[in-house]
Amino acid sequence: MGKNSWKEFSWKWSKALLLAGLITVLLRNFIFIPMTIEGSSMIPTFQQDDQIIVKTIYDIERFDLVVFHDSSNRTLVKRVIGLPGEKIQYENDQLYVNDKKFEEKFLDNDLVNNAGGIWTSDFTLEELTGTQVVPEDEYFVLGDNRRSSNDSRYFGSIPVESIVGETSFIYYPFHRMKNVQ
């Protein structure tokens, strides 16, 4: 390899490595953010110290798992139960949205099935927040571990601008690596 071809070769590889590094930084910091679960409010979906990927490009639908900042700037993960403009109610452990029954398949697990008694206490959105429907540009969220979750039942619906992203993938610990619903 001559002197010029070595310089050319080095320059091509340098550009490729620089581009790969730039793409990695952009993806890591702006599109896919790693995060560690703290607390027990999302058990069994997420366990303490699970490491998850948060997608910052998202389209929120019912039952999505969202990451957001609460009013004290803590980062929380909860499940979207109510969308803007919807009436939310629980009666006899059953979710009703706009007076229509909704099944929560993610609650069909050993923790809930073996717990005995009511998993989600009865409430209406109006009893909790004084409003009949979830306000525009806000979401009503609950933890999957309903008996041990600080969620919209306590702090109200969350504004869309507080949402960091959506998550559905545990990447560590490796034995728990999976997509979650």
Nearest to 112, CA basis, from 144, 152, 71: 144
- DSSP class of residue 104 equals -
The answer to whether 77 touches 167, Cβ cutoff 8 Å, is yes
Judge whether 78 counts as a catalytic residue.
Answer: yes
**Active-site residue (options: 41, 149, 152, 157):** 41
Q: Count the alpha carbons within 13 Å of 146 in the hemisphere toward its beta carbon.
A: 20
Name the catalytic one among 3, 78, 100, 162.
Answer: 78
Q: Is 101 a catalytic residue?
A: no
Question: CB-based burial of residue 180 (10 Å sphere; 0-12 exposed, 13-18 middle, 19+ buried)?
Answer: middle
For 52, 99, 120, the CA distances from 110, given in Å and listed in that order, are 22, 28, 16
What does the alpha-carbon distance between residue 111 and residue 115 come to, in Å, rounded to a whole number? 6
Active site residues: 41, 78
